[in-house]
Structures are given as C-alpha cells and as structure tokens.
Amino acid sequence: QVQLMESGGGSVQAGGSLRLSCVASGHTAGIYAMNWFRQAPGKEREEVAIIDSEDRITYTDSVKGRFIMSRDKAKNTLSLQMNNLKPEDTAMYYCAATDLLPLTDSWSIREYRYWGQGTQVTVSS
C-alpha cells in the first residue's frame, strides 16, 4: 500500500502562483509513476500531464507553459509549480501513484491505484 499526502493549495488571484507538493509513504519502492490530476465542480477528473514509461512528461494544452511537474524519486515526492494561474484552474488537485506497469506507452487515469485526499486551488479573477 502507498499513502499520498498533498499540500500547498490555497486561494490566489489570477496571474499568481502556487506550488503543490505530494509526499508518498508506505511501499514506495514499487511506484512506477506519479502524477497530478484535478477535478473542477461538475466536471470529470482530468490529468494535468501525461507520464510515459520513459518518465517523459507531456502537459495538457490547458496548462502547457504554465505548470511544471517534478518528481524526486529519492525523496518520494512530487511537486507541481503552477504559474500564471487562471480562474479555470480552480479545482481540487489530487496526487496519484501507481505500481502497475502501463498497458500502453503511458498510464491512463484508471491505472493509478493510489490517490491522495486532494488539495483545493481557487483562482479568483
């Protein structure tokens, strides 16, 4: 089992920045991938970026150029630097991890087995 704990959410005005952090504990040696997802009210949970089996990160168009994700495998942490935040970035942000090998070149949301409780990010205009 893996436990995930997010921190760093909050309220910020448009154009501001926030940095989210996630710490994994438990059986972390088995983790293949970690990622950030977000879910806005009334919408489906979506990934912030796609992680492939070579650890390459492809950001979704909505965050490309503004968000930077980084993982420290030695410390079992995952961070998300969010710059130039927009009101449409308002959502609950979740850290997720998986100890499963991907069915394709990258992991889909269904392949992430472990989830944190989430941290709220609110961006006002």
Interval 56-74: pLDDT, tens: 999 999 999 999 999 999 9
Contact indicator for 70, 76 with CB cutoff of 8 Å: no
> Between the CA atoms of 73, 77, 81 and 82, what dihedral angle is there, to the nearest 10 degrees?
120
Cα dist from 90 to 59, 74, 104, 122, whole Å: 17, 30, 30, 5
CA 15 to chain CA centroid, nearest Å: 20
pLDDT digits (tens, 9 = 90+) for 19-30: 999 999 999 999
Tell me the C-alpha distance between 120 and 9, whole Å: 5
Q: Which of 14-18, 32-36, 44-48, 105-109 shows the lowest mean pLDDT across its residues?
A: 105-109
Tell me the C-alpha distance between 13 and 116, whole Å: 25
Tell me, what's the pLDDT at 45?
A: 97
In this predicted structure, the answer to whether residue 103 has a pLDDT above a threshold of 90 is: no
